[in-house]
Amino acid sequence: LTAHPAVRSAVVVPFLDGKRSSLVAYLVGQSGADPIDVAEVRRLARTRLPALLVPSHFIVLAELPTTSSGKLDRRALPRPDDASTGKSLTPPRTPLEKIVARVWHNELGGGPVDVEQDFADAGGNSLGAMRIAIRLGRELELPVSPTEVLLRRTVAGMASWIAPLLHVVPSEDAGAPPATTRAPNVLSVLDNQSGTDLVWFRRREQDAPALYCVHPGGGSAHWYQRLTQHLPEWLDVGAFQHPGLTNPARAATSMADLAAGYLADLWASQPVGPYHIFAWCGGAPIGWEMARTLAESGEQVTLILHDPVLQVAEAQVGGGENLRQLAECDDAYERLAVETDPEQIQRLQTRIGELLPSIVVEAFHDALDDPDLEEIWPIAVKSWRSQVEARLPYRFGPYAGALHLLACDELAGGVHDSLAGLSLAEYLGHWEKLATEVTVHRVSGGNVTSMLPPHVAGLAQVLAEVVRTEDGR
């Protein structure tokens, strides 16, 4: 933190708010310098620290309190909700904003809610977006999608989006919260009302260069939120989220139809190129189809695939252990929904409890015990299974363009499923037949850990360099 030129000294301490623990950074500015820009310091921390070590709160002090012996007086440090963060807060102004702010605060913790603060800057992540969506949906009896939380970004943005659904004008008039008659259920809570599968993690202006990221096999765009924090500010970042995550009926959508839908969202956002497409692992077929269509339309396109799953006639194409576990877990959930025998119910619940930790990435294991998410997992498992099964029939066709292929340690070491049973040389040989040119870039970490600290910073550097080179920057 003291690497920032405006910060003279800093200390970070843990803060326990009820059952929720967070890190609080206390900053002291340089004498005679401009006031500390907390947002800048937060961005610096994100580029240099693992996500879990980035403080949730940044508090600017004139001096750090000390004891008579000159040591830091931790007891004298102000609580996050008692101190200024160096930025004037905009408190909730309407009954609806107060409802959203309360749900927001219960999930993210910290001090008074600033209705204009960005969700990510408040410490939010995809799991937090899901919890906020579910709790808002239940309280307001409305369908609220996690995608909307990521799209609207602030309490004020969420309240403005919700107001028309409740037939409420977002005024500052005091009064009771609006009453509704719609009965919520987990499917309606997950329903996506945005009309688009494109989520922007950074959006400045329409003619700025943008990296369009296609979700991996699980369908979630949340992975790219952390990646955005490590990409340069001149590059906007949007990500496509599989519609099957919010509408189970669309989980089995084909690769070609997904690509067509995502292209419609892309063109609505950016009518002309150049375009930069980034797809990861199981999302590679969609990114490939998008790039093929753009190239055939005469557009300039940069295609970057990270550990792309190879699906050609000559390779072994299958869902492997992942699909087997998904199918077993999905079948168990279906039987559990109709089972009446207590012993069978216990047996099915036990087996599901054994399977889920292998299916859900480790970063989300804490969520498996969250009662607010109990109804989510059966839908998520069915969606993931359908997504994998919908991908298997796809076969890559020729692409009249250059491919930038990013290879993680697992792929380069010949041990990742994307190789489809081939050696690395055979695998790369197939891509060289499919694209007019292939450039291989090495990235550190495994297929999943390359997207996590500390490896994600290196991945971001590679992506930024490819875009910069292709754009002639």
Which tokens in the block code for residue 222? 């949340």
Q: Indicate whether 113 pLDDT > 50.
A: yes
Q: Please state which CATH number belongs to domain 7-82.
A: 3.30.300.30
| Domain 198-317+392-471 coded CATH 3.40.640.10 | no
Domain ranges of the chain: 7-82, 95-190, 198-317+392-471, 320-391
86 pLDDT tier (thresholds 50, 70, 90): very low
Mean pLDDT of 271-286: 94
Lowest mean pLDDT among 9-18, 123-132, 273-282, 457-466: 123-132
449 contact partners, CB below 8 Å, separation of at least 6: 455
**250: three-class secondary structure by DSSP:** helix
Mean pLDDT of 365-389: 81
16 contact partners, CB below 8 Å, separation of at least 6: none
Closest CA to 193 of 139, 133, 131: 133
Task: Please name the CATH architecture into which domain 95-190 falls.
Answer: Orthogonal Bundle (1.10)
Helix H, strand E, coil C: the string for 20-70 is: EEEEEEEEEECCCCCCCCHHHHHHHHHHHCCHHHCCCEEEEECCCCECCCC
Q: Indicate whether 64 pLDDT > 80.
A: yes
Q: What is the pLDDT of residue 179?
A: 38
pLDDT in tens, 291-308: 999 999 999 999 999 999
Amino acid letter, residue 150: L
Does the CA dihedral 77-79-83-84 come out positive or negative?
positive
Tell whether omega for the bond before 274 is within 30 degrees of 0, i.e. cis.
yes
